[in-house]
């Protein structure tokens, strides 16, 4: 019986750490001396090379990275960005220049508007200052006049004779009626309000201010005073007129009835103080109408009218206030009643 010798199975050398296999011992010994093997044995892990794409994704081998790049949209974006033309750049620059020019025009417009508002404010301030100086000057003049006439006025009641007022009946026959002025003033009107108290309680409203602007100085100021007088009983009023033609007026001051002088200085002083109170409402009216700061706006134009009408007596005080006085005398004439 013949026995065949089994072929000898070659020995296999295996490095588990490096996943390295060989049937040749010499190759195996060479492997043990390689940096790769030594690095794995020394640090305990196999270094893995990472392959990165510009889009941020990572791959462990080059082949997977290659397949990814075929469909990666990030590369196409970069490619498109590299295709920006000179015309596109010129267009962007032109748009920026247009925006810059527009901003400069807006800035110029705002500056012009600001200058107009400043000019308007300066003008109003100048007008207010001029009016203030005028009031101070007028006040000094009135004080001087009061000093000169005070003694004569206080003595009038004792010297005033009885006035005779004629009245006409329905049959056109005329009779004489005796009207005792002293009795009327000192008895009938003994509880009348003093002129100073009357003036202190008289406070023109914004409606009164606008009424002066619409109807003018004479009508407007007259109606402010008459409105207060009409709200009082006749015997409580601080002023009475006994002769419209000669413009004779009596005023109650410090609980005494005094006759005004021939120029009716006290009555005109009353009118002056009322017009000043009315003018002081200009500032409040401006605060309620902020558009007055806009040049040529409706409120700006109306403001100028209110100022002009309220200051109408400035250039001709005696004549204009005399017209107001005539309007008042029609209402305060006692005509013997």
Q: What is the pLDDT of residues 179-198, one digit of tens each?
A: 588 899 999 999 999 999 99
- Distance separating alpha carbons of residues 228 and 102, to the nearest angstrom: 59
Domain end (from 39, 64, 89): 64
Same domain assignment for residues 319 and 180: yes
Same domain assignment for residues 60 and 136: no
Same domain assignment for residues 286 and 144: yes
- Please report whether residue 2 resides in a domain: no
- Residue scoring higher pLDDT (131 or 15): 15
- Out of 29-38, 146-155, 223-232, the most confident range is 223-232
Tokens found for residue 322? 């005399």
- Residue scoring higher pLDDT (291 or 168): 291
- pLDDT number for residue 84: 58
- Please report whether residue 96 resides in a domain: no
**pLDDT interval class at 163 (50, 70, 90):** very low
Tokens found for residue 144? 């001087």
pTM of full prediction above 0.75 = no
Residues spanned by the domain of 292: 130-332
| Cα dihedral 248, 252, 258, 263 in deg (nearest 10) | -40
What are the CB-based long-range contacts (under 8 Å, 24+) for 260-263?
260/153, 261/149, 261/152, 261/153, 263/318
- pLDDT number for residue 202: 93
Nearest one of 280, 328, 331 to 306, comparing CA atoms? 280
CB 157 within 8 A of CB 258: yes
Sheet of 239-243, strands arranged across: 239-243, 248-253, 256-259
Number of domains in the chain: 2
Same domain assignment for residues 135 and 56: no
Same domain assignment for residues 24 and 138: no
**pLDDT interval class at 41 (50, 70, 90):** confident
- Distance separating alpha carbons of residues 273 and 224, to the nearest angstrom: 12
- Residue scoring higher pLDDT (135 or 168): 135
Domain end (from 23, 47, 64): 64
Residue range 297-321, pLDDT digits in tens: 898 899 899 888 888 888 888 899 9
- pLDDT number for residue 277: 92
Q: Per-residue pLDDT for 153 more than 50?
A: no
Residue range 59-92, pLDDT digits in tens: 767 777 778 877 887 665 555 555 556 677 787 7
- Please report whether residue 91 resides in a domain: no
- Please report whether residue 111 resides in a domain: no
């Amino acid at each position: 019986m013949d026995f065949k010798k089994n072929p000898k199975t070659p020995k296999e050398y295996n490095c588990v750490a490096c996943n390295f296999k060989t049937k040749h011992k010499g190759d195996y010994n060479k492997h043990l001396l390689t940096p790769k093997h030594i690095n794995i044995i020394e640090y305990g892990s196999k270094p893995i090379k990472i392959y990165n794409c510009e889009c941020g994704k990572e791959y462990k081998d080059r082949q997977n990275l290659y397949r990814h790049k075929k469909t990666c949209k990030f590369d196409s974006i970069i490619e498109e960005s590299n295709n920006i033309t000179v015309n596109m750049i010129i267009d962007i620059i032109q748009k920026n220049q247009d925006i810059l020019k527009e901003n400069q025009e807006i800035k110029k417009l705002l500056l012009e508007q600001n200058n107009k508002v400043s000019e308007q404010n300066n003008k109003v301030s100048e007008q207010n200052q001029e009016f203030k100086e005028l009031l101070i000057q007028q006040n000094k003049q009135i004080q001087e006049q009061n000093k000169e006439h005070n003694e004569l006025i206080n003595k009038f009641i004792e010297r005033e004779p009885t006035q005779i007022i004629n009245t006409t009946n329905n049959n056109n026959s005329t009779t004489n009626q005796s009207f005792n002025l002293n009795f009327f003033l000192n008895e009938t009107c003994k509880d009348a309000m003093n002129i100073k108290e009357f003036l202190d309680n008289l406070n023109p409203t914004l409606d009164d201010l606008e009424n002066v602007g619409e109807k003018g100085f004479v009508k407007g100021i007259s109606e402010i005073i008459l409105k207060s007088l009409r709200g009082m009983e006749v015997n409580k009023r601080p002023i009475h007129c006994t002769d419209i033609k000669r413009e004779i007026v009596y005023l109650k001051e410090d609980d005494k009835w005094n006759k005004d002088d021939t120029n009716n200085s006290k009555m005109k002083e009353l009118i002056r103080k009322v017009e000043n109170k009315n003018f002081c409402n200009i500032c409040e009216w401006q605060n309620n109408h902020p558009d007055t700061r806009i040049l040529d706006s409706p409120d700006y134009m109306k403001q100028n009218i209110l100022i002009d009408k309220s200051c109408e007596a400035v250039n001709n005080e005696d004549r204009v206030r005399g017209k107001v006085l005539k309007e008042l005398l029609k209402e305060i004439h006692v005509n013997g009643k």
